[in-house]
Chains A and B, each alone.
Chain A
Amino acid sequence: MSSETQKILTTDGVPLEVSLKKAEKKNKIKAFLLVCPLLFFIIITYIFPIGEMFSRSIDDRMITNMLPKTFKAMETWDGKELPPEEVFASFLEDYRALAEKKEHGKLGQRLNKEKNGFTTILKKLFRKMKKFEEGNAKEQIMAIHKRFRDVEYWQAIKRTAPPYTAAKYLKGMDMYFDEDGNITQVEEDRRIHRILWLRTLEVAFFVTLFCFLMGYPIAHLLATLPMKYSNLLMICVLLPFWTSLLVRTASWMILLQQQGIVNDFFVWIGLVADDNRPEMMFNKTGTYVAMTQILLPFMVLPLYSVMKTISPSLMRAGKSLGGTPFIAFWKIYFPLTIPGIGAGCLLVFILAIGYYITPALVGGASGTLISNQIAYHMKATLDWSFASAMGLMLLTGVLVVYWIYNKLVGIDNIKLG
């Protein structure tokens, strides 16, 4: 600022610049205060819990908390040969304390996940330790079972010492830490999660593709028809959009069942024999058909709002300059609709990748997706840390999709109507 502008004063003698800045700051604070309630509400009830999901997914303090003295004694043990008397004594002490609280079973279960065979020997220890004499814990414990004489079992306990673990994430990718702490793949016939991830990606990709192939023509028709017809046809898009997801899933369950109308129709036109009706529900076909119909409005609406802004004279100009309708469409119209295509595909893909209700109802065993697995662990096995880990892996995937989208199309180009 030059010295001349500083000379301009307001009526109360303050330089204009200072006064303006003050007013600006006041406005900023005012705007921020308006946003505050919702911002804090979302941060406390939503953003923090997502953070909590992360800490839950890597938290591994359960054993550390159950065997505090053992771990303290193990600090000096090198982990190569059998631990010294001190470790055995503190282990016995910790285990007695757990048995008093009736939590010794939990420890057995948890340790068994680290190394098979812990449950049996700990149960044996529980029965015999009442008759133990004072002192000399090492010999008495080792006498119970040969596994207590095996250094590998003590190493397994020591391995659980770090308070954090990536084990849940590895489990989500069908891998685990073996006895030596190396990352290993599970046997081929037990790799269920990888199949689910791939299937989720596959379903999301194809549903997006189908929605695009079906949505593009009708969005174009809606955008080019005269208002009075397009408003009427728009109902066909908006009514499913506003209708309950469960209602739409229910109607697909009725349509696709073996005695359902779709099968009736196939029999009627002679495509299939009456006694050989194909199974269209409880498999991937059902998932694809139902999800495409349910997510189609999310593709049509952004496409429509972009197409509506494209002037028809552009196509006419292209044609008048000698382009065939197809060339005019491909060179002029299509590139202009890319923001809409991007928005629609992003929306449908993100919705499809986290889909839960429809696959659970019409998908059957071969139609379940990763979200069903997350819900299963939340509700049935109660392995919340594993559910959190898989949820965060899914979230990372979604964020990667946003990032790629931003690189390719630019997130600012998104138009949602």
Chain B
Amino acid sequence: MALPKYTEPHYRIWHYVYLCICGSVFFFLIAPLFVIFPLSFNAEEFLVFSDGMKRLDPDAFSLRWYKDMIYGTKNPWGAAAKNSFIIAVFATIGSIILGTVAALGLSSRHMPYKGLIMATLISPMIVPLIISGVAIFFFIAKVGLAATHLGIIIAHIILGTPFVVITVTATLSGFDHSVTRAAASLGSNPVNTFLKITLPLILPGVISGGLFAFVTSFDEVVVVLFLAGLETTTIPIQMWTGLREQLSPTILAVATCLIILSVLILVTAELLRRRSERLRGINR
């Protein structure tokens, strides 16, 4: 953003001050994530940069904590990762199916009581998580699913569907309904039309909603804290326990892996957003 030549000096100064403020805010946002990287390769047990690390001495760095994460004795991370993935995958599938179908109905202009129903469907997203946690716990405990995978999956479907509903209804708002009518006039039944015409067009919205649901489930700790048992600990639970008891560098190794995962998710989400915008651009 270059300033025009005629800018008066005090505005010029203000402009640079403004850029400095923005720069420090960006630094504040992103820098904490980069502390974890180097410290996870620390050869020592302390969570501070050792003198060797400051000198960039190769001996001060090691893969020790990554080995501990994978092969360590009484290692809880493997089981936790497996649980987390199972729960997140099924919760995502459930959220996508329920959310997409509901979004199709909601974006129909014939839908009665649209505002009220929409508010009900996205309420798990706007109610503070701790309250959702208590409510969901009462339900899951009542049906006897506490400390089971299924119980946590149901809990995460509740928390994940609002994201799918919102992204898919947003995608459908730019959807040209004449293509489905064209398909119908060419003799296709509604299910076929949905699978062959509508779904491919709204797919970016569905997948990005699914990504939200996946991340919500994968990162969720408040509700799981109420629900999880010994057999169903997830990565967030394990991290929570670790952070409360002793902050070991193994946690930083796990955290590094999680950051890499979030970079992958960010890239996917961004590509999908662009594709979706392009598709909607063509429709217009």
B33 and A250: CB pair below 8 A?
Answer: no
In the assembled complex, which residues on chain A have CB atoms less than 8 Å from the CB atom of B98? 37-38, 41
Q: Which of B28, B39, B111, B259 contacts A247 (CB 8 A)?
A: B259
A350-B126 CB under 8 A given contacts A28-B110, A243-B258, A250-B239: yes
Instruction: Select which of B36, B48, B128, B266 is within 8 A of A350 by beta carbon.
Output: B128
For A30, the chain B residues whose CB sits under 8 A away are 105, 108, 110
Contact A53 B135 (CB under 8 A): yes
Contacting B at CB under 8 A, from A342-378, are 350-351, 353-354, 356-357, 360-361, 371, 374-375, 378
Give the distance to chain B from A118, nearest Cβ to Cβ, in Å.
30
Q: Are B243 and A242 in contact (CB under 8 A)?
A: no
Question: Which residue of chain A is the closest to B7 with respect to CB atoms?
Answer: A325
- Compute how far the CA of A307 lies from the CA of B58 in the bound complex, rounded to whole angstroms: 47
> Are A46 and B130 neighbours in the complex by a CB distance under 8 Å?
no
Q: A31-B111, A53-B135, A248-B32 are in contact. Are A214 and B25 (CB under 8 A)?
A: yes
CB of B255 within 8 Å of the partner chain: yes
Nearest to A26 among chain B residues (CB) is B110
Min C-beta distance of A218 to chain B, whole Å:
5
Check: A58 CB closer than 8 A to any chain B CB. Answer: no
Within 8 Å of chain A (Cβ to Cβ): is B18?
yes
A154 within 8 A of B: no
The answer on a CB contact under 8 Å between B135 and A46 is yes
How many angstroms from the CA of A47 to the CA of B122 in the assembled complex?
A: 11
For the A-B complex, the count of residue pairs with Cβ-Cβ distances under 8 Å equals 249
B129: CB under 8 A from chain A? yes
Give the CA-CA distance A395 to B47 in the complex, in Å.
39
Tell me whether A31 and B105 are in contact (CB under 8 A).
yes
B136 to chain A, nearest CB (A): 7
Complex Cα distance, B134 from A243, in Å, reads 25
Is the contact region of chain A dominated by helix, strand, or loop, or is it mixed?
A: helix
Chain A residues near B265 (CB, 8 Å)?
242
Binds A, one of B85-93, B198-206, B218-226: B218-226
Flag whether B81 is at the interface (Cβ < 8 A).
no
B183 CB within 8 Å of chain A: no
Contacting residues, chain B, for A53 (C-beta < 8 A): 131, 134-135, 138
Nearest Cβ in chain B — how far from A264, in angstroms? 8
Report the Cα distance A16→B205, complex, angstroms.
38
Q: Mark A289-313, 1 if CB is under 8 A from B, else 0.
A: 0000100110000000000000000
Which residues of B have CB within 8 Å of A121? none
Q: Which residue of B lies closest to A297 (CB)?
A: B29
- Bitwise interface map of B from 3 to 37 toward A, beta carbon under 8 Å scored 1, else 0: 00000000100000011011001101110110110
Q: Which residue of chain A is the closest to B154 with respect to CB atoms?
A: A45
Contact of B121 with A52 in the complex, beta carbons under 8 Å:
no
Instruction: Check A224 for interface membership: any CB of B closer than 8 A.
Output: yes
Task: Indicate if the CB atoms of B111 and A251 lie closer than 8 Å.
Answer: no
> Which chain B residues in 130-182 approach chain A with CB under 8 Å?
130-139, 154, 157-158, 161, 165-166
> B4: shortest Cβ distance to chain A, in Å?
11
Taking CB atoms and an 8 Å cut-off, the chain A residues in 313-353 that contact chain B are: 325, 350-351, 353
Chain A residue nearest to B46 (CB atoms) is A259
A residues 208-252 with Cβ under 8 Å of B?
A: 214-215, 217-218, 221, 224-226, 233, 235-240, 242-252
CB-CB under 8 A for A250 and B121, given A50-B131, A53-B135 = no
Q: Decide yes or no whether A18 CB sits under 8 A from chain B.
A: no
Q: A217-B18, A350-B126 are in contact. Are A388 and B243 (CB under 8 A)?
A: no
Known A254-B39, A255-B35, A357-B222; judge A394-B131 contact (CB<8 A). Answer: yes
Contact (Cβ within 8 A) B25 A378: no
Residues 212-253 of chain B, each 1 if its beta carbon lies under 8 Å from chain A, else 0:
000100110110011000000000100110011001000110
CB proximity of B134 to chain A, nearest CB, Å: 5
Docked-complex contact A24 and B258, CB < 8 angstroms: no
Contact A398 B128 (CB under 8 A): yes
Given A39-B121, A379-B225, does the pair A34, B22 have CB atoms closer than 8 Å? no
Are A242 and B127 in contact, CB atoms less than 8 angstroms apart? no
Interface pair A354/B131, CB less than 8 Å apart: yes
> Are B117 and A39 touching (Cβ within 8 A)?
yes
Contact of B102 among A34, A221, A252 (CB under 8 A): A34
B281 CB-CB contact with A under 8 Å: no
Q: Taking CB as reference atom, which chain A residue is nearest B256?
A: A247
Give the residues in chain B near A257, CB-CB below 8 Å: 47-48
Residues of B within 8 A of A48 (CB): 139
Q: Which residues of A contact B127 (CB under 8 A)?
A: 50, 354, 395, 398
Task: Check: A261 CB closer than 8 A to any chain B CB.
Answer: yes
**What residues on A are CB-neighbors of B36 within 8 Å?**
247, 250-251, 254
Chain A positions within 8 Å of B, measured between CB atoms, are 24, 27-28, 30-39, 41-50, 52-53, 56, 214-215, 217-218, 221, 224-226, 233, 235-240, 242-255, 257, 259-261, 293, 296-297, 325, 350-351, 353-354, 356-357, 360-361, 371, 374-375, 378-379, 384, 387-388, 391-392, 394-395, 398, 402, 416
**Other A-B pairs, 8, CB within 8 Å; known A52-B139, A297-B29, A375-B225:** A28-B110, A30-B105, A31-B105, A32-B105, A35-B111, A217-B25, A246-B239, A261-B35
5 smallest A-B Cβ distances: which pairs? A354-B128, A34-B105, A38-B102, A35-B105, A31-B108
12 A-B residue contacts at CB 8 Å?
A33-B105, A35-B121, A36-B105, A38-B101, A39-B117, A244-B255, A245-B236, A248-B32, A254-B35, A254-B39, A371-B130, A384-B138
